[in-house]
Structure 1
Amino acid sequence: HFQTLKEENEALRKNLSGETLKVFTTSNLKALLYSGNDTCVKNRADWEAHEGNCYYFNLMPLSWEESRQECRCRGSDLVKVDSRDEQTFLVEKLKTKILHPEDKFWIGLTDSKKEGSWLWVDGSPLDKRLSFWFGTEPDNWTEKNKDGEDCVRMGKHDVTDLECWYDQSCLVPQKSICEKAAGTSSSVCV
């Protein structure tokens, strides 16, 4: 009987060690992923660097607001395009991430407060010299949603130029692009 208890005790000890290791590993992984002093280039394979900023291409289709919240959970916000060079960088990156014509990415531009008055997520107005609308966009199309199209997505399958912004209903699930300055906190949602 003593030998059976000893074997049971050993089996429980091994099981407990395995569970403790799982908890320890998970905690370490979270600490590594959400450490506050990463620079996206060295420590985060899922962030891409360009001219002092880090970009995360979220492949999970979400509404514009959900996408923005997801970015905030990563210590960032939806991307604000500040230059032609930045637009070029994003277009190049999207070439390998867009799988079909409707496969597009939310950016941090909306006219949800006032129709036709496009604002970035930081509250700054769109500089018309740095707008990259495709064709007749924005068109505020109301066929699918009576409220129209108040959020901006970018991307074009087989893109050959930089004009690839489209307005869309903010409720339509899309992929998204998050942006943060290099070296800032990687997560505020642990």
Structure 2
Amino acid sequence: MLKYVLAIVCLHNLVSVYCLTVSCPNGYTRHASSCYRFHHVGLSWPESVTFCKATGSHLVRVETEAEHDFLKLKAKEMLGRYPLYSFWIAATDAVTDGEWAWADTLTSLTYKKWALGQPNNGLGEDCAGLYYQGGYDFGDWLCRTLLHPICEIDFTDGIELVG
């Protein structure tokens, strides 16, 4: 039996308000205006980006403290069920060392909460994730490291509104 989480999303401009019912695909969990899925497979960061795109989502962008708190709680629930304890997020400084941005939008991180001693900017550590040893705050890794991807679907992704 398929399970769907429904939400009503309303978008408005100066003239009209558009409301639509949005559901998360099976296996995804809704929080605020997104659906999230913690995947069991261990992948490198580039593989995780491709994997999420192939599933119609994107590697998670942690943009608020509330979203981060939700993801940390879910990550802690995964302990013992997943072989690797840390999770990839979409942040990278591969374009300019020390300037962290979201890979899919190339926008600078406006919210960031690095674990103590992170980012340590080790040679080639250009990809970020939720760092288990840092209480699931951000940490940087070599992009070839195997971690679990967290894929995100924003409710507004792919929605075309006609007024």
Of 86, 103, 108, which aligns to 1:104? 86
Amino acid of the structure 1 residue aligned with 2:52? C
Q: Aligned pair in 2 of structure 1 residues 134, 102: CA closer, same or farther (>3 Å)?
A: farther
Of 30, 34, 38, which aligns to 1:57? 38
Contact 1:38/1:183 (CA < 8 Å) preserved in 2?
no
Amino acid of the structure 2 residue aligned with 1:152? A
Determine which structure has the larger strand proportion and give its number. Answer: 2
Q: Aligned pair in 2 of structure 1 residues 175, 184: CA closer, same or farther (>3 Å)?
A: same
Contact 1:110/1:119 (CA < 8 Å) preserved in 2?
yes
| 2:153 is aligned with 1:138 | no
Higher relative contact order, structure no. (Cα contacts within 8 Å, ≥ 6 residues apart): 1
Q: Using structure 2 for the length normalisation, give the TM-score.
A: 0.75
Largest Rg, 1 or 2: 1
Q: Structure 2: which 5+ residue stretches go unaligned?
A: 1-20, 159-163
1:71 — aligned with what? 52
Contact 1:91/1:155 (CA < 8 Å) preserved in 2?
no
1:132 is paired with a residue of what secondary structure? coil
Amino acid of the structure 2 residue aligned with 1:154? L
Contact 1:95/1:158 (CA < 8 Å) preserved in 2?
no
Percent identity over the alignment is 32
1:113 — aligned with what? 95
2:132 is paired with a residue of what secondary structure? coil
Of 161, 180, 185, which aligns to 2:153? 180
2: CA distance, partners of 1:141 / 1:135: 14
Q: Using structure 1 for the length normalisation, give the TM-score.
A: 0.65
1:156 deviation in Å? Answer: 2.1
> Once the two structures are superposed, what CA deviation does each residue of 1:62-116 show, in whole Å capped at 9, x if it has no partner?
0101001110011111111111100011001000113489620000000011100
1:165 is paired with a residue of what secondary structure? strand
Aligned residues: 136
2:142 — aligned with what? 169
Amino acid of the structure 1 residue aligned with 2:148? K
CA RMSD of aligned residues (A): 2.4
1:84 — aligned with what? 65
Q: Aligned pair in 2 of structure 1 residues 158, 64: CA closer, same or farther (>3 Å)?
A: closer
Determine which structure has the larger helix proportion and give its number. Answer: 1
